[in-house]
Chains A and B, each alone.
Chain A
Amino acid sequence: MHRLAKTSQLIANSERLLAGIFCALVFLLISANVLVRLIKVPIYWIDEAAIYAMIWMGFLAASSAIQADAHISVSLVTNKLAPQLQQLCKLASLLIMVIFGLCLLWLSWTWFEPLLLLQHGGDIDRFTSTELNFIYTEPTATLGIKKFWLWLIMPWFSFSLTFHSLARFLSQLFDPANTAGVEH
């Protein structure tokens, strides 16, 4: 149990660090955009790069916030309940998060269809024409890479959300005294 919570914390710390780096990247890209426009050397891919950096930042931060119990939720009702009922509500909400995370994982799986891609020997053209799934062929507008590289944050987010929620659910179930939000 302890190991699961520790792993969750380790993952969340890394996610927070990465989210901070992506935030810095957004800041640098947008500032650079003003500068390069001023000196009349516009770089056309900056805006798109900044948008994807922001999205990666957002999803990494959001999943790490589950581990830290930093998401906003309504506590008007639960705060008025007896401690046992409060504990029950907490467990129920975390269990729902685990189920939601598993749904997202399944949706990522059916979107990327990694097994089918492997069955086609990793041949993207054959996979696309046979399965009529265009995920691996869609391009980005200006970055010059395929969009699925950027979409990979979704499976990670789904996994991380499930993992952090499960770690907190089990901690809450077996060790409720030590499951207050972890500082971040």
Chain B
Amino acid sequence: MPIVISLISLLMIGVPIAFLLAMIAILLIVYQGDQVLFLSFQQQFFAGLENYGLLALPLFILVGELMSASGMASRLVRMAAALIGPVRGGLAYVNLISNGFMASILGSAVAQISLMTQVMTPEMQRNGYRKDFAVSLSAAGGLLAPILPPSMMFVVYGVLAQISIGDLFITGLVPGAMMLLGFFTYIAWRARHDNFPLPLDNISAPNKQPSELPELQQGQEQTTKAGSKLGMLRQGLPALLIPLVIVFSILGGLATPTEAAALAAIVTIIVGKFIYRDFDWQHIPQAFKRAAISSGLILTLIGSAQVMGFVLSYQQIPLAVAQWISQVADSPLEFLLLLNVLLLFIGMFIDAIAALIIVVPILLPIAMNHFGINPYHFGLVVCLNLALGLLTPPVGAGLFVASSTSGESVEKISRGVLPFVLITVLILLLLSVFPGLSSMLL
């Protein structure tokens, strides 16, 4: 109990989340008197990152940075707009479809929310949408990132569970499509109910840097006729090379998911420089620096979670939790439902990837050995559930990123994303009850 109180107190006064778990690990060691663990504390911190799969993290974030520098994101939005056409609430659909494109490129929800909030919020505001709705929708679209391939959470889960990351990616396709459909249905209802605007026939030209976007908000003469629908589609096509390179290099056995991220970065530079001609070589050092900083924050969190997991394992806390769960649950369904409640709670307080690292080694053996649950199905349920934590206070990294990039308050965004969170919970329940939904493409 004193440890839980310490955790909540440290969280509430604003201690960086990346170090929180390591601090709690130190407190746990002192509290339980297991000073011997201090001898390998630093080594565990380091060892938590000695993992090939984690290399995908900085590389996918790098792809995001390069995409924003080359104006590729804006072109994908224009292409999605051309695909949707003049439908009421069109830009809301465009937002989700673009998020789907991004999810299939970036793999990191936080990177995606950061990019999409910057690209879509000004566009939607100009088109007459309320800012809080535009930001909330962009943030909710981030929920697709952990499910649609290449998902960073799947990479980490695949490493932890020692199963094929490529197969995990395939497992995510059906639930990803279900989520998109669920979100579309909600938008269609809102569009009728709140009389959403029709899309304007002019969407801003691609921007070299998202940082230039605030100028568009001021209504200056920066909007240009976007050209024909065909032109918008044609302009977006080269950007689609990136997900194609990722998927086919993995499926063709040419590259691992990590290497596919590096190839995607190369393709982004080539497309940006030689096809779109918006990319400047000077963008590259800055992109590396930004990717290093963004991934450094997440990597420290993972190292911190590793130390925490190490201390918890030594004190046999996971075993106690495992015994309790296997006593309470009688069937795979009961286990999964209980798991969902537990993970929703954990996801509210701990970052998704850190929670994954803590939870999977404890619960996967129980799921497989006691209840005969397929590890791919288990991974999907756990990842989707923990992804919700991105958008739930108090530690929803997605909320904070959306808030800091848009200037909208966390409270307003939390309210706005609630319907999307509920839709995702519904899909999670469907997946728990019908496991065949996840394995139908395998």
A interface, CB within 8 angstroms of B: 16-17, 19-24, 26-27, 30-31, 33-34, 38, 47, 50-51, 54-55, 57-62, 64-66, 70-78, 89-90, 92-93, 96-97, 100, 103-104, 107-108, 110-111, 150-151, 153-154, 158, 184
Once the chains are docked, how many angstroms separate the CA of A27 from the CA of B56?
A: 10
Q: Which of A34, A54, A153 has the most CB of B within 10 A?
A: A54
B16 within 8 A of A: yes
Report how many A-B pairs have Cβ atoms within 8 Å: 179
Residues of B close to A20: CB separation below 8 A: 285, 288-289, 292
B38→A110 contact, CB < 8 A: yes
CB A13 to nearest CB in B, in angstroms, measures 10
A108→B42 contact, CB < 8 A: yes
CB A29 to nearest CB in B, in angstroms, measures 9
Closest 10 A/B residue pairs (Cβ): A61-B296, A58-B299, A71-B16, A20-B289, A19-B292, A62-B300, A23-B292, A30-B262, A20-B288, A23-B288
Once the chains are docked, how many angstroms separate the CA of A23 from the CA of B291?
A: 7
Residue of B nearest to A88 (CB): B13
Residues of A close to B258: CB separation below 8 A: 30
Residues of A close to B295: CB separation below 8 A: 23, 54, 57-58, 61
Once the chains are docked, how many angstroms separate the CA of A75 from the CA of B16?
A: 10
A34→B262 contact, CB < 8 A: yes
Interface of chain B, helix or strand or loop or mixed?
helix
Residues of B close to A76: CB separation below 8 A: 393-394, 410-411
B162 within 8 A of A: no
CB A180 to nearest CB in B, in angstroms, measures 13
Chain B: how many interface residues by the 8 Å CB criterion? Answer: 58
B26→A103 contact, CB < 8 A: yes
Chain B residues 13-71 with CB under 8 Å of chain A are 13-19, 22-23, 26, 38-39, 41-43, 45-46, 49-52, 54-55, 57-59, 62
Residues of B close to A103: CB separation below 8 A: 26
B55→A34 contact, CB < 8 A: no
B45→A62 contact, CB < 8 A: no
B46→A65 contact, CB < 8 A: no
Once the chains are docked, how many angstroms separate the CA of A57 from the CA of B292?
A: 6
B263 within 8 A of A: yes
Given contacts A19-B293, A19-B296, A30-B55, 16 further A-B contacts (CB under 8 A): A16-B289, A16-B292, A20-B285, A27-B58, A27-B288, A51-B54, A51-B55, A54-B55, A54-B57, A58-B303, A61-B296, A61-B299, A66-B16, A74-B11, A74-B14, A111-B39
